[in-house]
Structure 1
């Protein structure tokens, strides 16, 4: 069997800027060019996806970089077809790097006769020939158990902690971390511990999906600079309403840190007009032009973390070391400036 010399990256169409940034970052680490494998991912006139790889991948350690974001079904099929093509081309191992794991919100049966789509997606990925998954901030941690293969779930909170320490360096004592719902308390508590800040919760009651009937703040936010922490922002209705409720309860400012900026429908307009001073998201999903143009939306990079995680997987070293802020600080040196 051929000796594996270097990890090889291949990208779908969902987030090419992030894939290119990961390749550039890996080139810096390796001291040699690490480019994206030459391939074409196209669609026939009827919408069928076709993949052709132009380089030899026999015996290679392949990493497919593909978020399953909007359009979720197209991007998921691209990932599956690319994995099948690499497996049939005798790649030694195929790892799916999925910065944003779509369908993660369908992780359980909430009503009778509903699917568990996250489990179905996990089954399809394994059947397509994927041997390992690398992702970030799964909506529900138990999704890792849907797979019978290794799953490395990275966290955005160490990156957020670095950014918060830089952006709010002169008022760290005034910060209050806020979870926008009870289900996100563990995620918010994790960031609160990293920056040594207190925690508050916004308890929301829904009449039906997409509508928030009532919100109550648990904790004293008077005179505090509140930072809302969550994994996904879709239409931004809950986020903007939570910011209003915090201001009504005496918060001086409200900022938000969200791992995955889905930002569909009226989200950008709502955020632009909201009382939030800033919304910080990662580049796990490629930003649209309205997102880039929004004055109060800022994007922090994940490429340094993903590049290091890929190298650690390839080298057979620890990925969990990237959970620590101290580990990421030298990797992100120079990125966070006011």
Structure 2
């Protein structure tokens, strides 16, 4: 049986992404429904999927309506539309907590998420699943001196607020999964690597190498290197804890590819760490550098930094590949050095599998994108 009727809501930061998610979910369900109707006999899982398809034919799925109410003292609340009925329904709540296209801070986005959850709970939703591909405060996963551990605190807040499931992508550190109580919150930790690998296949040279910008990215880079059948190198990075956001030293460990290096990381914030690695690779004679990351935050003057790297004819930097987990303005999407991969069809498949009690294991297959028809061509690919 299905887990319940289906509904999607979006916080303000996630509205644009939720629209794409709904579009691809409808398309995937329609394709799967036609495929199942042609079969003579169905398995138990296929019968669940067909029931989901039949339900959606009767109920045209769309975004639920809600209003964020602001008060004069900067307090706010979330009010569901009076015609929205979520009683005993499974609700998916979409949020992009770091969104460069609006003026809200991460803290405001998070507060809105919790207020949304509270409204849905009081409206008797059967379950609430948060879709937040970027998990903020992920870099605060360990304690230094007398610092707090904000990643642990945020996981506890999500749990105590009553969230049933969390769908996220490429957490900064695997130990963040351990901050959630698995008896209360189920976390679906997905990866952008299938999309990235699909994009890189046929676009990188035979002599390319995969590069980890630091030891923390070594495991992720090794995954890319294994499935793209490329050798790997690693950079050693020593940070300054006296001066925040500062890298004191960067070294290249291993013989870099003279022809091309693909630098793999989970996020790019100020861009200075990647720039240091590119600088060291240039000194070693590398002719072309491509950087890929799941979460292109591009904070501060990062855009100007990559502009300079790209315009410098002596610099090997050619491309930064990110995803739409971080929404950006058109001026960033129009940069010749930036390509944004669309994850919405990939996540729509995850939502479909979750709601029909299917398996998400297939989405961890590095070559699932082509096999399952989850590729959306980048709109800003030059």
**TM-score (normalizing by structure 1):** 0.93
Q: Which residue of 2 aligns with 1:10?
A: 9
SS of 1:184 mapped into structure 2 = helix
Q: Which residue of 2 aligns with 1:202?
A: 235
1:130-149 paired onto structure 2 within 5 Å: 130-148=163-181, 149=185
What's the CA shift for 1:180?
A: 0.5
Q: Which residue of 2 aligns with 1:58?
A: 87
Q: 1:217 to 1:98 in 2, by over 3 A?
A: same
Cα deviation, 1:232-266, whole Å, max 9, x if unaligned, reads 11110111121111111111100100110111100
1:186 aligns with 2:186: no
Q: Which residue of 1 aligns with 2:109?
A: 75
Return the alpha-carbon distance in structure 2 between the equivalents of residues 299 and 262 of structure 1.
Answer: 12
Q: What are the ranges of 5 or more consecutive residues in structure 2 without an aligned counterpart?
A: 31-56, 100-104, 310-314
Q: Which residue of 2 aligns with 1:150?
A: 186
Matched residues, number:
332
1:258-297 paired onto structure 2 within 5 Å: 258-274=293-309, 275=315, 276-297=317-338
Return the alpha-carbon distance in structure 2 between the equivalents of residues 291 and 43 of structure 1.
Answer: 30
Q: 1:156 to 1:4 in 2, by over 3 A?
A: closer
SS of 1:335 mapped into structure 2 = coil
What's the CA shift for 1:190?
A: 1.0
1:175-254 paired onto structure 2 within 5 Å: 175-207=208-240, 208-254=243-289
Return the alpha-carbon distance in structure 2 between the equivalents of residues 131 and 199 of structure 1.
Answer: 39
1:23 aligns with 2:22: yes
SS of 2:13 mapped into structure 1 = coil
Rg comparison, structure with higher value: 2
Return the alpha-carbon distance in structure 2 between the equivalents of residues 99 and 318 of structure 1.
Answer: 19
User: 2:373 is matched with which residue: 323, 331, 335?
Assistant: 331
Cα deviation, 1:39-86, whole Å, max 9, x if unaligned, reads 122433332222111210000000111122252101111111111111
User: 1:37 is matched with which residue: 64, 73, 92?
Assistant: 64
Q: Which residue of 1 aligns with 2:197?
A: 161
The question of whether the paired residues in 1 share the 8 Å contact of 2:213 and 2:234 is answered with yes
Return the alpha-carbon distance in structure 1 between the equivalents of residues 248 and 219 of structure 2.
Answer: 24
After superposing the two structures, state which structure 1 stretch, 70-79 or 323-332, moved more: 323-332
The question of whether the paired residues in 2 share the 8 Å contact of 1:272 and 1:295 is answered with no
Return the alpha-carbon distance in structure 2 between the equivalents of residues 166 and 37 of structure 1.
Answer: 41
Return the alpha-carbon distance in structure 2 between the equivalents of residues 334 and 58 of structure 1.
Answer: 34
What's the CA shift for 1:166?
A: 4.0
SS of 1:106 mapped into structure 2 = coil
What's the CA shift for 1:34?
A: 2.5
Q: What are the ranges of 5 or more consecutive residues in structure 1 without an aligned counterpart?
A: none
Q: 1:5 to 1:92 in 2, by over 3 A?
A: closer
Return the alpha-carbon distance in structure 2 between the equivalents of residues 204 and 333 of structure 1.
Answer: 34
User: 1:317 is matched with which residue: 335, 348, 358?
Assistant: 358
SS of 1:9 mapped into structure 2 = strand
What's the CA shift for 1:192?
A: 1.1
The question of whether the paired residues in 1 share the 8 Å contact of 2:268 and 2:274 is answered with yes
